[in-house]
Amino acid sequence: MSNLFFLRIMYCNAANLHGVTTMIESVKGLRIRQLNFINRGRDYVGVVAFETSRKEDVPDLIHLLRGNGNISKVETIPGDVLSC
């Protein structure tokens, strides 16, 4: 049984989307289901929907993303707010 999670991510133009998605999928067991990013001035803002079979992987992913200097904001979004 896989669980669906949503993250709101903001990153600067210096980073690229491929780098962000590669970082997400580098965590074993995570798979991206949907991306929705738009350009807001000097930053890209968007939502990533991903699925995992282990809820314990989500804090590891958030820690990994926050450690990247090009990503300025990472926050979780409750699953009942959005639907894929």
The pairing of beta strand 31-40 with beta strand 71-77: unpaired
User: Once rounded to an integer, what is the mean pLDDT over residues 60-83?
Assistant: 83
Judging by beta carbons within 10 Å of its beta carbon (0-12, 13-18, 19+), is residue 83 exposed, middle or buried? exposed
Can you give the CATH number for the domain in which 60 is found?
3.30.70
Nearest alpha-carbon partner for 45 in 10, 73, 17: 10
Identify whether 29 is part of a domain.
yes
pLDDT for 1 equals 46
In a domain, 2, yes or no: no
The pLDDT of residue 82 is 54
What global pTM score does this model have?
Answer: 0.80
Tokens describing residue 65: 């993303």
What is the tens place of the pLDDT at every residue in 6-63? 999 999 877 788 888 998 899 888 999 999 999 888 889 999 999 988 888 899 999 9
- Domains in the chain, number: 1
Could you tell me the two tokens for 47? 């939502």
Range(s) of the domain holding residue 14? 10-75
Any residues with CB less than 8 A from the CB of 69 and at least 6 apart, and which? none
